Amino acid sequence: MHPEAKSAQADLLNLKRKVEAGANRAITQFFFDVESYLRFRDRCVSAGIDVEIIPGILPVSNFKQAKKFADMTNVRIPVWMSKMFEGLDNDAETRQLVGANIAMDMVKILSREGSRISTSTP
């Protein structure tokens, strides 16, 4: 959901208006919960939004920075992900490996679901 949207439904209706005005694809806000993205994609289909929905993937190498970014944009960081970065504040190399592994796992799942991938960096 866009951080300025009043609700998930309002966000969906706004996307539908953009598509009706000529948008031919959409890129999502970054996320870490693949199931949420898949539910959003399915809601788009149900609402008659028939464009490519590209999932935004944010590879994380600095968890504190990613958390701040997530807080500013109302993105939920799953507990399992927070736990993976626990104790790694002073270990940049391991943080990069953990972040790359998380992003890779997301890409694998999303690719199997037929999604095209977009990555972003903070």
C-beta separation of 62 from 34 below 8 A: no
Contact partners, residue 98, CB within 8 Å, separation at least 6: 60, 84, 85, 88
Can you tell me whether residue 55 is helix, strand or coil? Answer: strand
Q: What is the pLDDT of residues 76-85, one digit of tens each?
A: 999 999 999 9
Domains and CATH numbers, the chain: 8-119 (3.20.20.220)
Residue 1 pLDDT > 70, yes or no?
A: no
In this prediction the pTM is 0.81
Q: What is the pLDDT of residues 58-111, one digit of tens each?
A: 999 999 999 999 999 889 999 999 999 999 999 999 999 999 999 999 999 999
Which residues partner with 118 through β-bridges?
56
pLDDT of res. 100: 95
5 DSSP assignment: -
Q: Is 70 left (phi over 0), alpha (psi -120 to 50) or beta?
A: alpha
